[in-house]
Structure formats: C-alpha cells, structure tokens
Structure 1
Amino acid sequence: MTAPRRAWTARLSLMTISLILGLLVVAQLRTRNDIARVTSSDDWDYVVAELVVGNARLRNEIKALEEDVAELRGTEGAAPVVQSLVDEANQLRVANGLVAVSGPGVQVAVVGPVSVLDLQDLINELRNAGAEALALNDQRLIAWSAIASDGEQVTVDGQPVPAPYYLSAIGNPETLRAALLRPGGLVPLLRAANPSIVITVQEIDRLTLPVYRQGVEFVYARPTD
C-alpha cells in the first residue's frame, strides 16, 4: 500500500474513532435517564451491554489506527502525517482512559446524602465547563462510564465507590470552579435542596488521574462490523 493510501486509511480510522466516541458520549448522557428507569436486572444488563460493546469497538479502532501509524513510520514524506495522527491518537487515548494523565484542575468533595443523579449532574457540569479528564474516588471516568447504585452504595461501572465522594477534574481550575459555584449554579442548588450536604471545591495545581481500570473480557459479544 502506498504512503498516501495508508495515510488516507489512517485518517478514515481516525474519523471512525471520532464518530464512535461521539456516539458513546450520547450513550453516556442517555444512561443517566436509563438508570432512573431500570426496574430489573435484565434492564440493567441491557444498559451496561450497550456501553461495553461501544467500549470494545473504540479500543479496536484505536488499535487499527496504531497499526496504520506504525506502517507509515519511515515512509518518505509521511512524517507530518504520522505526527498529526500520533497527536490525535494520544488525545483519543486520554479520552478513552488508556493512559494516566496529570494537570491542573479542581477537586470536589461531597459529604452527605447525595444521590446518583446528583453525582452525574456534577460530572456533566464539569464536562460542560471543559474538564478534559475526570475521576471519582480514584476511579477514572470515561465517556461511557455508568454511575449507578446497587441499592446500598454508589457504583462506577459496577465497582463500589464508598462515601464520601471526591470528584477530580483536570482543566482550567478557575473556569471549572466558577461553573460549579456560580449563583444559581449546581452546587448552590444542591446545598439549598439539602442543607445537610457539604460540598467544597478546591483548585489544585497538579492532579494525577489513573488509567481506566475496568477492562472487560468478552466471551460471546463481538463488535459489529
């Protein structure tokens, strides 16, 4: 395969990844409503299965992109294309939780009787304010992470997360803090609705968020071509 054709193939892989990632973001937002409607274990299995299959598809596409980049390396005239693809692939690795990340941001401490939907609202508010990476109690959150409850405690992708809750977000600290604390914003509303909830927002010069650890081993399910 010639260098221009391999470059086009890599670009096509990248566009496919971006499309899948966009669909997963939509799925994650839909999951917030789906959780409220779950009435049986079968319903919950369906919600999780949608997110898991999307996860597998995205990881496979990233692997294919890495293979295309490897083929392009060393090809005459391909250096600018390779560097562009590497930069974009690295951004996708961050979004997909495949690498640990560090940077400035905020840490939101939530103490008291907070609901799953309240936590999801805080996460969405931070994303809308430009958070580039998130973690809840040292568990990395990605586009399709499911925040739910097992009836006794909050879970992230099926893993229990004990209270109190510490939500870490990497991004512009001032912007993230202002988005949460602005008059009429989410944190003042949560405090007004339940005075027993204590929420603090601290700007931090350097946060380090771990790799997304919830790998999935597939036995029967395979991504659809």
Structure 2
Amino acid sequence: MKYGRPLLIVTASLLIGFALALTPAKGGEVATNENQTLSQLLDENRTLGDQVSQLQEKLDEYEKTSAASDTVAAELAEELAAARMEAGLVPLTGPGIRIELDARYVSDAEGSRQAVRALSDGELLRIINELNASGAEAIAINGERIVATSEIRTAGSYININRRATNVPYTIEAVGNPETLSASLMLLGGIKDTFEPFYELKITQVDGLEIPAYSGTLAFYYAQPVATP
C-alpha cells in the first residue's frame, strides 16, 4: 500500500515514454529492421496506449480509494479521541467548579481539637453523583481522576480512591457548566445545607480547570464482547 502509487506512476511514465519512442516520425521514416514492420510497430503502439489507459484508470481508482481511506482514518481517529476522553485516559481542561471540603473541628474540655464528624465514603459518593447528574464531564478528587471503575470506599481511617488512601481535606474539581454544577450543590436540603453543620465547604466557579488523566490501568480479564450473530 505504501509503494502502490509511486510504482503506478513510474510504470505509467515508462509506458508513455515507450509509446512515444515507437510512434512513427512525421516524415514517415521508420527504423529499418528485417524482423520488424510498420504494422508491428503500430500494433505495439496501440497495445502500449491501451496499457497506459488501464494504468491511468488504476491511478484514478487508487486516488479515490486513498482519499476515502484518509477520510475513514480521520473519522476513526476522532472516534478514538472521543473514546479516550470518555474513558478518562487523557487530561482535560475547561470551565467548572472547585469544591474544597474539610472537617469542621471543635475543642473539647481539655483543649484537644476534634472533628465534629468523620467524612464517609457515602458522603463523597453523594457529591460525585450530584455532579454527574448535573452534567459534569470530568471529575477528580485530590488529583485522582474518577472513571467508571473508580472505587470510593472507607478503609480503616482513610477513604480509598483508585486504590490510594486519602483523607481530609479534599479538593474536588469538575468540568462542566459552572453555574449548573454549583447550583445543584446549593439546592435547599442539598449538599451545602446538609454538609455545612459538620464540614467546611467552599464552592468556587473556575474558568480553566485542569483535570488529570486516569493513572491506573483498564484491563478486562473475564469480560468479553458478545459475539454478533
């Protein structure tokens, strides 16, 4: 495929050259050769002309096929890029919101600083679900990209995110419509209302967030595509 077009062009050029070389001169002079006649020269000339025409048709067909292949390749590249974005395999940038979440602390009788309540994995998941429901296109928690296979679950005194132990404070960033995302968290009885008695919560609209790519691996060991009948 790589050398097809250059070979066709060279072959066509050679045949055209032979055809011109074998064409009788205007004065009717033909190289004398006892085994070659004018009739044979004309026949060979016509044969070469036919071959040139055939090669030209192949060249035209190749150019059409090549153009079609380029179009298909471009479409496939666009689909692959979209799939990689959706899978979280490339870093993304865009407008959105930044949520800064920390424990709210009080001092006991001895002056020790204690958290009012420990943040749970369910509460983190509630924020992520609300952002997804509001049209977030990419989300990261403390620099960990959230994808379809991400786990957010309590493990002892930590919360594992993408198999990495994390703890407060949390910075949650989400790319999407900043006004829609922030409004969804500030609904009466929503995230802001229910979280603020126990946690410090700050929501900021940002013009240019940068969401990192997922740093883990995506592999399927048991799942297989369903065979098409």
Q: Into which bin does the TM-score normalised by the smaller protein fall?
A: 0.5 to 0.7
The amino acid that maps onto 2:192 is: V
**Paired residue total:** 147
Residue 141 in structure 1 maps to residue 146 in structure 2: yes
Higher helix proportion (structure 1 or 2): 1
Q: How far apart are the structure 2 equivalents of 1:152 and 1:119?
A: 15
| Cα contact 2:100–2:203 (8 A) shared by 1 | yes
Residue 185 in structure 1 maps to residue 185 in structure 2: no
Deviation at 1:129, TM superposition (A): 0.5
Q: How far apart are the structure 1 equivalents of 2:66 and 2:167?
A: 51
Which residue number in structure 2 is paired with residue 150 of structure 1? 155
Deviation at 1:157, TM superposition (A): 2.1
Q: 1:138 to 1:222 in 2, by over 3 A?
A: same
Deviations 1:97-156 (A, max 9, x none): 211111111011111132100100100100110110010001111122110111110111
Quick one: which of 80, 102, 106 aligns to 2:97?
106
Q: How far apart are the structure 1 equivalents of 2:79 and 2:193?
A: 37
Which residue number in structure 2 is paired with residue 35 of structure 1? none
The secondary structure found in structure 1 opposite 2:130 is: helix
TM-score, with length taken from structure 1: 0.59
Deviation at 1:95, TM superposition (A): 1.8
| Cα contact 2:144–2:162 (8 A) shared by 1 | no
Deviation at 1:223, TM superposition (A): 4.3
The secondary structure found in structure 2 opposite 1:123 is: helix
The secondary structure found in structure 2 opposite 1:102 is: strand
Deviation at 1:208, TM superposition (A): 0.7
Q: How far apart are the structure 2 equivalents of 1:100 and 1:128?
A: 21
Q: 1:86 to 1:199 in 2, by over 3 A?
A: same
Percent identity of equivalent pairs: 31
- Where structure 2 has 5 or more consecutive residues not aligned to the other structure, the ranges are 1-64, 104-117
The amino acid that maps onto 1:162 is: N
TM-score, with length taken from structure 2: 0.58
